[in-house]
Amino acid sequence: MKLTFTNSNARFRSMVSCAMAIGVGLSVLPPFAVADESNRQVLVRDITSVEGVRENMLVGYGLVVGLRGTGDRQQTIFTVQTLANAMQKMGVLISPSTVVVKNVAAVFITASLPPFSRPGSKLDVTVSSIGDAQSLEGGVLLMSALYGPDGQVYAEAQGPLVLGGYSAGTGANKKEVNAANVGLIPQGAMVERDTSVDLSGFKTVSLLLRNPDFGTAVAIADVVNKEFSKPVASALDSSRVDISVAGASSQTVTMLISRVQNLVLNVHTPAKIVINERTGTIVMGGDVKLSPVSVIHGNLSIQVVTTYVAVGATPVGGLGQPGEAGAGAGGGKRGMGGLDTLQPIVVPETNLSANDGATQSMRLDEGANVDELVKGLHAIGTTAHDVVAILQAIRAEGGMQAELEVQ
């Protein structure tokens, strides 16, 4: 039996509060400080999108042919039925029950339809197996319709697949690299329906913020009004800014959008740290500032090990002849030739060992940033999970003014 206990150390300093993180043996001791705020210059186009100008998702179903025996098996019924229907359109009638489809695979096709797409435009498409095909390597997609959310056909896809992986061998000798059941057809779809938006009918251009923020919305409206020297823009809420087309006196809506999107403004990025405890991944923004803080990290490990030790033996009567009674507890012989045996006496013996590792410490001064924190934590030998606990302790104490998102 082996038990491991982790002891949490607590350290105190005058005029400061101490946050203790349980489970990794660390304490956080921060003095008072105020984090610095940093702004960065961005283009309006990088943080907004125009309402009504958007991509649309397309999806379709089809067959990939020409595989080298790595297609769907015969029990994949929908593949056989699809192949039979395709052959029927070609004027060939076949019985689905007699078809072996080792070189054919049923697939879903997905694509993204950009705004202002017109008939004849080309799209990249992704092809994914939906049956039990082993690999789509060397396959060719037959002409398949791609549908939009409204059920209408917007593009047709066809062409040879390009794979980023492969699958070779069978059973224990099989080797796979990346995904062999997903492929790409560059420029493999052609747009068949006009989806362009008529901008000439716009009376108001609405900018939608990708990361809603009241301060950023107001800043966008201010920089637009400054550009046109009159109040043509207004922030409706944290995610929308409306610009009057008539008030801007622009020749076309396209020119207005281009002029607005190229404006530069200062944006404050919210301080945020994203932690994935399952994988130990931590992503921190470079503008996250810390108050002066001391981190003490050390583990007290106690192990209790129980072993069993033989300290003697006790006699046990042997087996006598059939029908004869055995000897008593005093030992001796039992029947004819029946001798006593010795049974060992086992008692538990417990050993306790304690290993108090040397305490590692680090200190961050006023205005320390994320890079300094990470370097310091690596220097004292913390693991990714230790860093998660340390950040949570610093955040709980108030030494880090940032949003902490744990996934």
Quote the tokens at residue 402. Answer: 């940032």
Q: Map residue 388 onto helix, strand or coil.
A: helix
Per-residue pLDDT of the chain (407 residues; tens, 9 = 90+): 333 333 333 333 333 333 333 333 343 434 333 334 456 788 999 999 999 888 999 999 999 999 988 888 877 788 888 888 888 888 888 877 777 778 899 999 999 999 989 999 999 999 999 988 888 988 999 999 999 999 999 999 999 999 876 666 665 566 666 678 899 999 999 999 988 888 888 899 999 999 888 999 999 999 999 999 999 999 999 999 999 999 888 889 999 999 999 999 988 777 777 877 677 677 776 667 677 766 676 654 445 556 667 767 777 665 544 444 444 444 444 444 555 677 777 777 766 665 555 666 666 666 666 667 767 777 766 776 777 777 777 777 777 777 777 77
Confidence at residue 324, expressed as pLDDT on a 0 to 100 scale: 46
Q: What is the pLDDT of residue 131?
A: 87
DSSP helix/strand/coil, 84: helix
* Predicted pLDDT of residue 31: 38
Indicate left, alpha or beta for 169 from its phi (over 0: left) and psi (-120 to 50: alpha). Answer: left
Per DSSP, the three-state class of 19 is: strand
Q: What pLDDT shows up at residue 369?
A: 67
Contacts of 390 (CB under 8 A, 6+ apart): 21, 24, 26, 28, 295, 297, 377, 382
| E-strand stretches of 317-391 | 341-356, 360-364
Closest CA to 144 of 156, 126, 159: 156
Residue among 81, 85, 79 at smallest CA distance from 65: 79
Q: What is the pLDDT of residue 24?
A: 38
